[in-house]
Structures are given as C-alpha cells and as structure tokens.
Amino acid sequence: MSDHDNTPKSNEPPVSEPSITESLDRYRHSLEWESKFYMDTAALVETTCDRIGVDPNIKNRLLTPQRALIVSIPVRMDDGRVNNYIGYRVQHNNSLGPFKGGIRYHEEVNLGEVSALAMLMTFKTAVAGIPLGGAKGGIRIDPRPLSRAEKQRVTRRYTVEILNMIGPEQDIPAPDMGTDAQTMAWLMDTFSEMKGHAVPSVVTGKPILIGGSKGRTEATGYGVAYTTAAAAEHLGFDLQGKTVAIQGFGNVGTYAARKLSSMGMKVVAVSDVSGGIYNPDGLDINHVLKYVATRTYVKDYPRAEPINNTDLLTLDVDVLIPAALGGQIDADIARKLKCRILAEGANGPVTAEGNEVLKARQEEIFVVPDILANAGGVIVSYFEWVQGLQSFFWSAEEISERLFNIMEAAFRECINFKNKFQTDMRTATLMLGIHRVSEAMLTRGLFP
C-alpha cells in the first residue's frame, strides 16, 4: 500500500477519508511572519539596541533570523490516514556558538512564534554567558491525543526534514512545550541512524541512560526558584513563609513549586489546562503531584478550592510565576497584578502592552524576565552538551552547584545593567544579552 493510498483493503481496518478543510485549516492558522509576538519581540530588541547604542548594521541583523526552514511532515496515523503537519526550525544567531533551542509541539505554533522564541534564545544564552547561539523549532500539532507510536513517527519524520540543519556543532535541539526526554531520544536515534553511528550530542534533555545529564529535567524550574530567591534577597526579604502562585503545572511549574516549597514558601495556587486550585493555607505539593500522577490534571483536587485563570494571576501573593503559554499577562491583567515578584517561567508570558504597564509599576513589582528566570534549562543543556562531547559525566551536586553559580552571576550582571542604565529589569536583561551578542558580531566581522 502506498503512503497516500487510502482505499480500504480487505482485512485492513477502514480508513477515514482525509478532510481537505481539516488540512487547510492548519495552513490558515496564521499569517506566518505577521505574528504579533514576533513583531513585539523584534520591536523590543530594536529599542533596546538603540538605548545602548548598538551599531545600526548589527542591529538590523539581529531583527531577523539567520535562517528559517518550513517543512511538511506527512505522518501515517494509527487509523491508516496520512496527516500532513507543518514544522519549523529557526536559527536566529550563532555568533557566540552553535545554535541552541527547544522544539515545541503545540497547535498554535507558527513561524512568527518560533522566530520570536529563537530570538529570545540568542539573548538567553548570552545572558547566561554560555557559548551557544539561539534557535527554536516546533510542529503545529496538539500532541495530547496522539498515541506513543504516532508521536514517534511525527518526531522521526520531522528530524529527517531538518536533518541538514542540526548537529552537535551546528544546532542542538532540546525539549520545550509538548516535548520531553523521550522525544529527544527518538530525535537522537533518527539522527544517529541517518549518520550511521551514535550521535548523542545532537540533542540535550535526553534520558540519562543514553547520554542525558543529571539535573536537566529539574533545571528550568529550579532555576526559576534560584532567581526568585536572588530577587527576594535583592529586595531585602526572606522567602520563608511567603506565598507563591504558579500558572502552569508542567515541567517548569512543578519543579519550581517543589524547590520553592522546600525553601519554605507557601504555594497557595497552581493551575493547568483543566483549571486552577487554591488553598490560602498552602498546598501540599507532594500530595498534589501524587493526585496529578493518577488523575493527569489538578481539576477537582480535594484539599483546595477551584480558581480561574485571571483570579490566580491577580492573587495577592509575594511571588507570581507564569509557567504556561506566552501572552498571558496583557495590560489589563498587568494593572491588576498584586505580586511583589513576577518570575517568568514561561517564554514571553507578558504582552508588549502588559510590559508597558509593568515598566510603569516597576517600583511595586520586580520582574525577573523570561530570558533570565527560565535560563536554567538551557544552562544544564550546555552542561549536557559539554559532558557528551567529553564522554565524561558529572555528579548531581556538581551540576546543581554550577547551575546555581551561573544563575546568580547572571542575576548580578543584570542588576548592574539595571543600575547603570537606570532602567527596568526586562530592558536591563535584554541589554546585557544584546551587548554580548553585538560585541561578538563586531569582533568576528562580516563575511565575506
């Protein structure tokens, strides 16, 4: 049977007709480059470049990715149909080292979003001071209804479509929203099969058994907790007994919750796609995690009240951690926020309009921006890449100590920029990233 032959054969399960409208809907989803997220991110980079006097030739180069690939991913589903998904890999800048960034599976993924996220990766690695560039990939697909076999076929075909762009010295993918260590294992296996030998360092965030690093799964959430603690110390208060609300209870949210509650904080609210739960006396995070392990979502958790998204974000808490989708905090929500620290676990959780409000409220709300707060993931990815290239692996203690030191140093550098330029934290952090990347570009010069 050919890949596109949908005629039912005897002894084979009936195959449903492919729906033209269904396929076209996936293309109609967005006007690619005309994404608000991309335009807003590029505008922020542009104004920040102007404030620190970046050479205009360098600035213009930073506003678009170096390379972007759009691919079709035909996949045979378990029912025999062939679905065609759209995937992307965008490489924004590699002046400081090989391109680096996650791969996202989500039904809203589009070229503009992936490009904005790739741009943020460039400055995230630069702020962390690690020798890597910025990239991002994604497939416009909802991974939740897929079977394990379907997910594996999607991943393998996508890997082959972007094969020439990636490699340990070229571009190193990692997990992001909707993907995990298993996804990276399939990607690494496909790449290795195509090359004829094992290439573990083509991805990070792999299972430890096949060359992953200790501490990588926890790294992003723990990093959010470390920068939250650094912010509290900067503001002169102790996190012990203070309250935190977390939007999103995936990889980032759960590990941030664990770390912050182990630091003595009261996690009063968490949420996921099913809704939110709230207990003003504090949630027992281990108990919530046990509940989620069997019930998948936090919905109907017995030892708390339900809470909606807006109410969770605007709770009167010491720390608020958006760790879900981007664009959650618009101007309206930003005006209503009551937290003292906003630590951004998600990428791009605040809209451009929300950011303007937060800038005006910077004395009340201290922002730890995404490219600083959630950099823990890519920092331990860097450790994984280094360990893989040397085939020599570090202990969990070494990893967490090095992660902590890098995040603390990055936080301090951002505060220096904030003081020097008398500006808000997001601008200061981006200034640091842009400064490092633009200096590297000037030093390397323009080819040819």
List residues binding ligand GLU (CB under 6 A). Answer: 100-102, 124, 174, 176, 204-205, 347, 374, 377-378, 381
Taking the complex as a whole, the smallest distance from the CB of residue 78 to ligand GLU amounts, in Å, to 28
Q: Which is nearer to ligand GLU, 291 or 382 (CB)?
A: 382
Q: Which is nearer to ligand GLU, 181 or 367 (CB)?
A: 181
Q: Which is nearer to ligand GLU, 150 or 176 (CB)?
A: 176
136 is catalytic: yes
Q: Which is nearer to ligand GLU, 221 or 276 (CB)?
A: 221
Residue nearest ligand GLU by beta-carbon distance: 102
Q: Which is nearer to ligand GLU, 276 or 326 (CB)?
A: 326
Q: Which is nearer to ligand GLU, 318 or 370 (CB)?
A: 370
Taking the complex as a whole, the smallest distance from the CB of residue 379 to ligand GLU amounts, in Å, to 8
Taking the complex as a whole, the smallest distance from the CB of residue 100 to ligand GLU amounts, in Å, to 5
With CA atoms as reference, report the closest residue to 158 among 187, 192, 134, 116.
187
Taking the complex as a whole, the smallest distance from the CB of residue 285 to ligand GLU amounts, in Å, to 23
Taking the complex as a whole, the smallest distance from the CB of residue 416 to ligand GLU amounts, in Å, to 23
| Reduced 3-state DSSP string for the chain | CCCCCCCCCCCCCCCCCCCHHHHHHHHHCCCCCCCHHHHHHHHHHHHHHHHCCCCHHHHHHHCCCCEEEEEEEEEECCCCCEEEEEEEEEEEECCCCCEEEEEEEECCCCHHHHHHHHHHHHHHHHHHCCCCCEEEEEEECCCCCCCHHHHHHHHHHHHHHCHHHCECCCEEEEECCCCCHHHHHHHHHHHHHHHCCCCHHHCCCCCHHHCCCCCHHHHHHHHHHHHHHHHHHHHCCCCCCCEEEEECCCHHHHHHHHHHHHCCCEEEEEEECCEEEECCCCCCHHHHHHHHHHHCCCCCCCCCEEECHHHHHCCCCCEEEECCCCCCECHHHHHHCCCCEEECCCCCCECHHHHHHHHHCCCCCEEECHHHHCCHHHHHHHHHHHHHHHCCCCCHHHHHHHHHHHHHHHHHHHHHHHHHHCCCHHHHHHHHHHHHHHHHHHHHCCCC
| Beta sheet of 319-322, edge-to-edge order | 305-307, 275-278, 266-272, 243-247, 319-322, 341-343, 366-368
Taking the complex as a whole, the smallest distance from the CB of residue 377 to ligand GLU amounts, in Å, to 4
Q: Which is nearer to ligand GLU, 65 or 205 (CB)?
A: 205
- List the beta bridge partners of residue 67: 91
Q: Which is nearer to ligand GLU, 137 or 276 (CB)?
A: 137
Taking the complex as a whole, the smallest distance from the CB of residue 398 to ligand GLU amounts, in Å, to 18
Q: Which residue in the list 124, 136, 151, 206 is annotated as catalytic? A: 136
Taking the complex as a whole, the smallest distance from the CB of residue 380 to ligand GLU amounts, in Å, to 8
- Each residue of 338-356: b (16+ CB within 10 Å) or e? ebbbbbbbbbbbbbbebbe
Q: Quick count: other Cβ atoms within 10 Å of Cβ 100?
A: 29
* Catalytic residue list: 136
